[in-house]
Structure 1
Amino acid sequence: MKKSKYVIAGNSAAAVAAIESIRKADRKGEITVISKEPYLSYSRPLVTYLLAGVVNENKMLYRDKEFYKKFEVELTLGEEAVDISPERKIVKLSNGEEIMYEKLLIATGGTPIFPATKGNNLRGVFTFTSWDDAKRVDEYIKTENVEYAVVVGGGLIGLKTSEALIARKIKLTIIELADRVLSATFDRKASDLVEKKLKEVGCEIRAKTTVGEILGKEKVEGVVLQDGTRLDCQMVIFAIGVRPNSEIAKNAGLKVNKGIITDGRMRTSAPDIYAAGDVAEAYDSLLGVNRQIAIWPTAYWQGAIAGANMTGKDERYGGAFAMNSVEICGLPTISVGITDPKDPGYEILERYNGEKLVYKKIVLRDDKVVGAIFIGKIDRAGIFTNMIKEKIDVGTFKNSLLNDDFGLAWFPKEFRKHMVVGEGIEI
């Protein structure tokens, strides 16, 4: 039986960060990475840009072959970790191979939700989160000369997928079960601006409904919505969310909610097993609870903490909060933290210009910034992100937060040293 001091199930942001952390402390211990996909670590946020033709496949890699060679990582690609025995410290792969570990990191990410809609087995029905998804959709568009598509889901994945299809000159309709797009990320005003931009580029949006049936004999010919409306189309893409790949942990007896439950060191409930990234539930420093925060920087940070602690260090994960920065059909948007509170205990500062598609909203609680939305103009957003992190009291200058020239100069001198200008956020 093969033995490896460190075994990592998964090969995305959390896995890469864990490898880097491990090698900072341990140059000799064997590292084995197991990945269901056949690729080196690649940048999932670029998948929609690949479909749109904005980037080519050469730009997709997050880490190249030299990275794995430099850090002496043994890669097992195209095979999945399917079973864990915490008692025996063994991981079983889909090819039947077993690997004995000393420390294990589960960084298996998530799987797109694929509803049991009638007709979902027809050719032309896809999900869209992976490199292979991009290849399949691209090939189908070319071979079937797709002119009209339906995207089910108006969240970030759905809108970025829609943007890619628009770039391919495909007419499309977005179907969203909620009453607006980006309902989990934005407030009503922000969603309205995004919808206005989408309509400007020819996208139709149908809210408060979903697809009840996909029509066609062998391939997609249309859909019927739950409200009875029929739409002709040649392709359907489901983008209604991602489910954490936590079954392997649940089957091994680890504590699992939606994701794998972790502590402040990214440890699971089983000795010597850690979890990080989209599969993990970790501390949300704003809400004060453990939950999934499925964004790239958080996955990387969690992986770095897990990797360090796998070597025997004692590093703490201080917690993160929701952050998304995405451009939608040329409209830049950022949302950070709590953006649409219903509790009257929150204070709202905002500036809105619907004609220019510009919106700035700052959410305060007890004179501390806890959330923000930026649409159209997103410069200086990093300052607000850092105010949330540092829990800075803005009571003496909160009336200046909406000023176009707001910056470090507005801060009391003792606070300036805590701030980092222009810190970026990427989904």
Structure 2
Amino acid sequence: MINPDILVIGGSAGGILTATTSRRMYPDKKVVMVRKNKSVMVPCGIPYIFGTLDDTAKNRIPDEMVKNAGVELIIDEVLNIDKENKVARLKGGEEIKFDKLVLATGSLPIVPKFINGYDLENVFPIIKDEEYLGDILNRLKEMKDVVVIGGGFIGVEFAEQLKINGKNVTLIEVADKVLWQAFDDEYADIAQQEMINNGINLKVGTKVKAILGDGKVEEVELENGEKIKADAVILGMGVVPNTDLAKQLGLKLNEKGAIVVDEYMRTSERDIFAVGDCAEKRCFFTNKNVPILLASTAAMEAKVAATNLYGIKFVRENRGTISAFSTKVFNKTLAAAGLTERRAKEEGFDYVIGKFVTMDKHPGSLPNTNKIELKLMFSKTSGVLIGAQVVGGESVGEMINILSLAIQKGLTANELNTFQVATHPLLTSSPIAYPINAASLDALTKINSK
């Protein structure tokens, strides 16, 4: 019998940070982390295994981070948990008696069983297992025509990387735009055009009728009757919470099957917490359930849970998911945080938009300079920032983090217009045209003219 104070089940972003943070916050407590997989993949790095990295080993999260923190790592599978006696039983026969339990069991890929042919050979859901992903990588080396189903971040990034790797790539998305949940149309259009310019065959606003083949995939048939040649199909249709253990424990789940948690990541059972993709997400603005399953969100939740395992000693509750995203599509980096205009209209927000276009270095004649297009959305009455979208070079990946923090802290157009920035010709936009300041001023003039 192993007797830790804290048992963490799951070894990806949420599990790792819960385990390591709880060791730092409670150095007198013994922490054990159990995970099923021998190695852990960087979740958001998985598409890059199939292009830029061309190797699963280059996408591992090293175990040293866990072990150096003093966390005991066990590679095994938890089969069941006796919640009354606080005992977890492992597949290998070992038992673990705990005081506090954190579920970080992650998510599973959506497999479209409603599509005929979903189970043909060479139809690949994306499972976060190195051996499985390595097998896909090896199989794809001999293939030329690949169809990606799903135009969210997973699908778009897989399509880009497979194209970089020399494949003929078709991406199919049922909605009218790729990335439509994260971006408004004008930004989704930029991503789509970048994909088309780089040779991806894009099919939006259309459904897959069937996946065809004799034992293994040969074609994908669309609802309009068109058939697309396919040696392989990548299923990038999203994920669902992995909550089998939560169901067994009798934890309260929401309508999407995620574990219901409070502001401190506590579940409906005393001494059981949940973080990451398996846990419920609530919108920062509306408190409605939103399926935003991101490693960065899991990291925040893990820190909230870990610091408050033994009473609310460190008051930092999870006030909701900001929905902060970033991605790179060939030569364009796109990022967003907060509400889109589409969501703001649906929820009845009264807002104003501030926009600005500039270059990410000054002067713009410097080499490797990129155009930045920024769109900020503010509450019309209070002037508080509620949404941001930006496209440009790689610098926008960190710019959106500034804007995410601004949303969390309720900063206004006036405050962002006058916030002080560090600028340098080789690193940033000009101080007289810094995009966050300038877009905020554009919005402020509209607020003041009402």
Which residue does the alignment assign to 1:63? 62
Q: Residues of 1 paired with 2:165 and 2:416: CA distance?
A: 47
Which residue does the alignment assign to 1:178? 175
Q: Residue type matched to 2:324 in 1?
A: M
Distance apart, 1:264 and its partner CA: 1.5
1:101 aligned to which of 83, 98, 107: 98
Which residue does the alignment assign to 2:338? 337
TM-score by length of structure 1 reads 0.86
2:403 aligned to which of 375, 379, 384: 384
Distance apart, 1:242 and its partner CA: 0.5
Q: Residues of 2 paired with 1:336 and 1:396: CA distance?
A: 18
Q: Residue type matched to 2:279 in 1?
A: A
Q: Residues of 2 paired with 1:158 and 1:36: CA distance?
A: 26
Which residue does the alignment assign to 1:32? 32
1:242 maps onto 2:239 in alignment: yes
2:385 aligned to which of 346, 369, 385: 369
Q: Residue type matched to 2:46 in 1?
A: V
Q: How many residues align?
A: 405
Distance apart, 1:357 and its partner CA: 7.9
Q: Deviations over 1:399-418 (max 9, x none)?
A: 99x98324679999xxxxxx
Distance apart, 1:92 and its partner CA: 2.9
* Pair 410,172 (structure 1): closer, same or farther in 2 beyond 3 Å: closer
Distance apart, 1:215 and its partner CA: 1.2
1:346 aligned to which of 348, 351, 371: 351
Which residue does the alignment assign to 2:71? 73
User: What SS class does the counterpart of residue 261 from structure 1 fall into?
Assistant: coil
TM-score by length of structure 2 reads 0.82
Instruction: Give the alignment of 1:41-60 within 5 angstroms.
Output: 41-54=40-53, 56-60=55-59
Q: Residue type matched to 1:137 in 2?
A: I
Task: Work out whether residues 122 and 220 of structure 1, in 8 Å CA contact, stay in contact via their aligned partners in 2.
Answer: yes
Task: Work out whether residues 212 and 225 of structure 1, in 8 Å CA contact, stay in contact via their aligned partners in 2.
Answer: yes
Q: Deviations over 1:204-256 (max 9, x none)?
A: 11122222211111221111112221111100011111000123212311111
Structure 1 alignment gaps of length 5 or more: 413-427
Percent identity between the two aligned chains: 28
Distance apart, 1:179 and its partner CA: 1.1
Q: Deviations over 1:98-153 (max 9, x none)?
A: 322111000011001011122122221102252344312211112xx211110000
Q: Deviations over 1:316-354 (max 9, x none)?
A: 32434100111111211101110222246122223579x
Q: Residue type matched to 1:373 in 2?
A: Q
1:189 maps onto 2:186 in alignment: yes
Q: Residues of 2 paired with 1:216 and 1:99: CA distance?
A: 47
Task: Work out whether residues 265 and 274 of structure 2, in 8 Å CA contact, stay in contact via their aligned partners in 1.
Answer: yes
1:158 maps onto 2:155 in alignment: yes
Q: Residue type matched to 2:186 in 1?
A: K
Q: Residue type matched to 1:19 in 2?
A: A
Instruction: Give the alignment of 1:288-303 within 5 angstroms.
Output: 288-289=287-288, 291-303=290-302
Distance apart, 1:308 and its partner CA: 2.1
* Pair 68,345 (structure 1): closer, same or farther in 2 beyond 3 Å: closer
Task: Work out whether residues 372 and 391 of structure 2, in 8 Å CA contact, stay in contact via their aligned partners in 1.
Answer: yes
Distance apart, 1:161 and its partner CA: 0.8
User: What SS class does the counterpart of residue 336 from structure 1 fall into?
Assistant: strand
Q: Residues of 1 paired with 2:48 and 2:78: CA distance?
A: 29
* Pair 88,54 (structure 1): closer, same or farther in 2 beyond 3 Å: same
Q: Residues of 1 paired with 2:337 and 2:136: CA distance?
A: 31
Q: Residues of 2 paired with 1:307 and 1:382: CA distance?
A: 23
Q: Residue type matched to 2:411 in 1?
A: I
Distance apart, 1:158 and its partner CA: 0.5
* Pair 140,192 (structure 1): closer, same or farther in 2 beyond 3 Å: same
Q: Deviations over 1:287-323 (max 9, x none)?
A: 3345443222221121122122224453332434100
* Pair 357,268 (structure 1): closer, same or farther in 2 beyond 3 Å: same
Task: Work out whether residues 285 and 318 of structure 1, in 8 Å CA contact, stay in contact via their aligned partners in 2.
Answer: no
Distance apart, 1:395 and its partner CA: 4.4
Q: Deviations over 1:151-196 (max 9, x none)?
A: 0000001011111101110011111011110111111111111110
208-217 or 85-94, which deviates more: 85-94
Q: Residues of 1 paired with 2:17 and 2:158: CA distance?
A: 27
Instruction: Give the alignment of 1:79-98 within 5 angstroms.
Output: 79-98=76-95
Q: Residues of 1 paired with 2:435 and 2:222: CA distance?
A: 47
Q: Residues of 1 paired with 2:140 and 2:150: CA distance?
A: 20
Distance apart, 1:95 and its partner CA: 4.1
Q: Residue type matched to 1:128 in 2?
A: I
Q: Which has the higher contact order (CA 8 A, sep 6+)?
A: 1
Instruction: Give the alignment of 1:277-292 within 5 angstroms.
Output: 277-289=276-288, 291-292=290-291
Distance apart, 1:46 and its partner CA: 1.4
* Pair 82,115 (structure 1): closer, same or farther in 2 beyond 3 Å: farther
Which residue does the alignment assign to 2:446? none
* Pair 207,352 (structure 1): closer, same or farther in 2 beyond 3 Å: farther
* Pair 397,234 (structure 1): closer, same or farther in 2 beyond 3 Å: closer
* Pair 411,361 (structure 1): closer, same or farther in 2 beyond 3 Å: closer
Which residue does the alignment assign to 1:113? 110
Task: Work out whether residues 48 and 164 of structure 1, in 8 Å CA contact, stay in contact via their aligned partners in 2.
Answer: yes
